[in-house]
Amino acid sequence: MSVFIIAISIHFYLANQYSSETMVKKFSDAVRSKDLKTAKMILGEHQKGDLTEEDVKGMISYIQDEWSSIDGLLMSAAKSHSEEPIIDSRGNKILQIVPGEKKFGLYHQYYLQPLRIEVQMKTNLDHVKVTDGKQMFNQLKEANTYETIGEYFPGTLKKVTASFKGEYANLTAETEIDFKEAKKNELKQKIKLNGAFIPISSNRDEALLFVNGRNSRASIKEINQLGPIATDGSVTIHAELRTANGMIKSNEVEVVGEEAIVLNFNEEDLLALQDRESSSIHEEEGSGDGEYYSGLASLVSEFMYASVDAYNYRDFSLVEGYMNPSGPIYKKTQEYIDYLDKKGIYEELLNVNFIQSEDTRNGVNITTQEEYKISYGNGSMKFKKFETKQHFRWIDGKLLAHELIYTKELYSKNM
């Protein structure tokens, strides 16, 4: 008889020990005492190995504010053997009592299954990358549109970083994730990158736009508005009007805020440039070919300025589009950029004068004279004047630089 009583006692003890009510009480004690280890053991997701103590800490932090209410709902569910999800005051399904394996083949073990919240994000720019520091989420493709980045247990996603890499700016922004803003298991989060599209205008809209001293290779007329671009003062822009008879610069503007920017040229500089153009020898008397020669002069001038940009930025791509890849000048320019880099030499092209052109069977030979200010690695500086003859070849209807025929120094002096 005593053995029977002991057996019955053990049965009721074990039934109580592994009951859902006991499990809820243990979890409640763990939440109140912030016992992360015990709470983690009770959460069913632990069985899959997906939860860390940091995740559990985040979940406890999320439910702490209304724990009394949630605790009561959990205990009611345990007593009624309900597996319906527990819903918080924001309409989020957050916890669910689930049965596990039977202990000793008789007693169900119970766990709490945390339920995930879908996190959606939107930003003010297209093609933005988003990361939590551990993994990269799907790229947010379209500005001002919410896109799902994943599903998370409440409180387990702490911070998100958005980054944008564009032609004119590399932008980043961070935002804290607040799951208490979630409703019905959806959290919509906004993150704004400090970049904008800035309208650009000028009194000479054919001028080339420069961003932080770098040639955009597009005219103000072609760009119309610049962006996305940082608006925190880290970007400076100006325009350059480049012709065969010289180059002039507009005012320089630091981009702060999203106001429209006007890049104007000094009227006296424009008049001086026009005077040089009117006295140019581009147009031959009575030939009627002035427009043709003017076009050649503009072509070679643009090519020479782009070459100097490539030299100074050590970036062949800035001039590559002006060249025939099959021509000897293509490789020689790459080698020359390497040489300048090793020697620490930088060039400033002050002026390009078109001297003459000669039509050939497959292109045009163009002769120019150029003036440079050259800075050397040892700190010295020189003014130099050269005469250069280059062959431009017709490739698919375009004149491209093909070969440097010669270049000779006409004048040099120390500065």
C-alpha 170/C-alpha 176 separation (Å) is 21
pLDDT of residue 287: 46
CATH number for the domain formed by residue range(s) 117-193: 2.60.40
pLDDT tier for residue 44 given thresholds of 50, 70 and 90 = low
Exposed, middle or buried: residue 162 (CB in 10 Å: 0-12, 13-18, 19+)? buried
In this predicted structure, the answer to whether residue 294 has a pLDDT above a threshold of 80 is no
- At 168-211, the pLDDT tens digits run 888 889 999 999 899 999 999 999 888 888 999 999 888 889 88
C-alpha 268/C-alpha 17 separation (Å) is 94
Q: What is the residue extent of each domain of the chain?
A: 2-114, 117-193, 195-269, 280-415
Please tell me the number of Cα atoms within 13 Å of 53 on its side-chain side. Answer: 6
Pairwise pLDDT comparison (102 vs 397), residue with the higher score: 397
In this predicted structure, the answer to whether residue 336 has a pLDDT above a threshold of 90 is yes
SS (H, E, C) the chain: CHHHHHHHHHHHHHHHHCCHHHHHHHHHHHHHHCCHHHHHHHEHHHHHCCCCHHHHHHHHHHHHCCHHHHHHHHHHHHHCCCCCCEECCCCCEEEEEEEEEEECCCEEEEEEEECCEEEEEEECCCCEEEECCCCECCCECCCCCCEEEEEECCCCCCEEEEEEECCCCEEEEEEECCHHHCECCEEEEEECCCEEEEEEECCCCCCEEEECCEEEEEEHHHHCEEEEEECEEEEEEEEEEEECCEEEECCCEEEECCCCEECCCCHHHHHHHHHHHHCCCCCCCCCCCHHHHHHHHHHHHHHHHHHHHHHHHCCCHHHHCCECCCCHHHHHHHHHHHHHHHHCCEEEEEEEEEEEEEECCCEEEEEEEEEEEEECCCCCEEEEEEEEEEEEEEECCEEEEEEEEEEEEEEEEEC
Q: Which CATH architecture has domain 280-415?
A: Roll (3.10)
- At 49-67, the pLDDT tens digits run 667 888 888 888 888 888 8
C-alpha 405/C-alpha 41 separation (Å) is 80
Q: What angle do CA 43, 130, 229 make, to 5 degrees?
A: 155
C-alpha 413/C-alpha 415 separation (Å) is 7
pLDDT of residue 347: 94
pLDDT tier for residue 282 given thresholds of 50, 70 and 90 = very low
